[in-house]
Structure 1
Amino acid sequence: MVSTFSNIGVFILATLGILYLFAVLLRFMLQLARADFYNPISQGIVKITNPLLRPLRKIVPGFFGLDMASLVLALLVGWVMILGAGFLAGVGMLNPLSALLWSLLGCLMTLIAILFVGMLISIVVSWVAPHSANPALVLLRQLLEPVYAPVRKIIPPLGVIDISPIFVFILLTVADKLLLGFAQSAAMPQLVYNLFWHIPF
């Protein structure tokens, strides 16, 4: 019975934690991409993240246009998820420094997975509704453009066909596998790995 309650606790913590981590990482991506903050979805993300982000920005300044406070908050969210899951699962107190490293790796894997899934959605929509003005799709295109743009400079479109997503998919998959290798070398427990979202292959 205790094990069942522990599993339920870890599940609730992981679900709520990953949802908030999504919001924080999307907030970082919004500023990085100079996306439309008047988009209703952007406004929702801002409202969710502001209560913790505003106080943090008073002590964590931006750096070369990067929203460092959002990155720090993402690390802290992952860190709390890891330590909380370890406590709820009854594995004892995890090393806080190791948990911080695992949080960094987990946040990076989650960010890669967000981009990966976002690209899949964008590609499917480009075939069925290429000119949709849906706020979610407009925002998605804005968030992905900074990812595609550097690749397009090297590999331009073939006429009307943009092949940059193919190479971005390859780069994201390679990066995810490298991060998984780092996670294994950093002795990340399976419990911790399962807390974060990642490409499922």
Structure 2
Amino acid sequence: MGQDPITLIIKTLGELYIFLLLMRFLLQLARADYYNPISQSIVRFTQPVLLPFQKILPKAGRMDLSPLVVALLVKLGTFAALIMLSGGAIQVDMLKLFIYAVVGLMDSILNIYFWAVIGSVIISWVAPGSFHPAPQLIGQITEPLFKLAQKVLPPLGGLDLSPILIFLAIQLIQSQLARLVI
């Protein structure tokens, strides 16, 4: 019926830190404003863990891949902790665990984009051109997606249907990801 509190705590803390790491990666991917207070907070929370990995891992062009690597390690560690808590042996097929972790990270990235697009649409209705750091950051994250979708489906008479195309693409990719782990 109910979930074990320890399991809930481990899962919540793991997913929260993975969210911060993925946000850091997506912010640099979108070239979002580094001096935004929210960006600064994300960097401050993730930098102590990322610093050793940034020294070891090479950059891929201008991209720092250490947030993705650390997010994958945190996901694997969370899975391992949950398996051990449930009484299972950690000698689970490591390839299968790795695939679950990669698919889980991809699904998390898609969920971040899904909610960011919803937030961007709502902000465009309620407070377009807001100077608050959160709407600016959401706009910076979703802008590359909107530009890509508008190349496929340009605005029709002032009506932008690109969010619908983005939602369809996200749902299609998530359904295919779900098939990988079944």
What TM-score comes out, normalization by structure 2 length? 0.94
Distance 2:88 2:170 in 1: 32
Distance 1:48 1:96 in 2: 29
Residues 1:153 and 2:147 aligned together: no
Deviation larger for 128-137 or 43-52: 128-137
Q: Secondary structure, in 3 states, of the residue corresponding to 1:92?
A: coil
**Match in the other structure for 1:90:** 87
Residues 1:166 and 2:164 aligned together: yes
1:115 to 113, 116, 124: 113
Q: Secondary structure, in 3 states, of the residue corresponding to 2:134?
A: helix
Q: CA offsets, 1:104-142, max 9 Å, x none?
A: 000001110111111111111211111221101100000
Q: CA offsets, 1:138-195, max 9 Å, x none?
A: 00000111112112122222233221111011000000000001011xxxxxxxxxxx
**Match in the other structure for 2:74:** 77
**Displacement of 1:65 after TM fit?**
2.9
- What RMSD over aligned residues (CA atoms) do the two structures have, in Å? 1.6
Structure 1 unpaired stretches of 5+ = 185-201
**Match in the other structure for 2:13:** 16
**Displacement of 1:75 after TM fit?**
0.7
Distance 2:120 2:31 in 1: 19
Following superposition of structure 1 onto structure 2, how do residues 22-33 of structure 1 map, counting pairs within 5 Å? Answer: 22-33=19-30
Counterpart residue identity of residue 15, structure 2: I
Q: CA offsets, 1:21-61, max 9 Å, x none?
A: 00000000011000001000000000111011111011111
Deviation larger for 134-143 or 96-105: 96-105
Distance 1:107 1:87 in 2: 21
Choose between structure 1 and 2 for higher RCO, CA contacts under 8 A separated by at least 6 residues: 1
Distance 1:163 1:49 in 2: 35
Q: CA offsets, 1:72-100, max 9 Å, x none?
A: 11111111111011011112213333222
Distance 2:50 2:85 in 1: 26
**Match in the other structure for 1:68:** 65
Distance 1:59 1:97 in 2: 24
Distance 2:37 2:5 in 1: 33
The answer on whether the counterparts of 1:60 and 1:68 sit within 8 Å (CA) in structure 2 is yes
Counterpart residue identity of residue 50, structure 1: Q
Residues 1:100 and 2:102 aligned together: no
Q: How many residues matched? A: 181
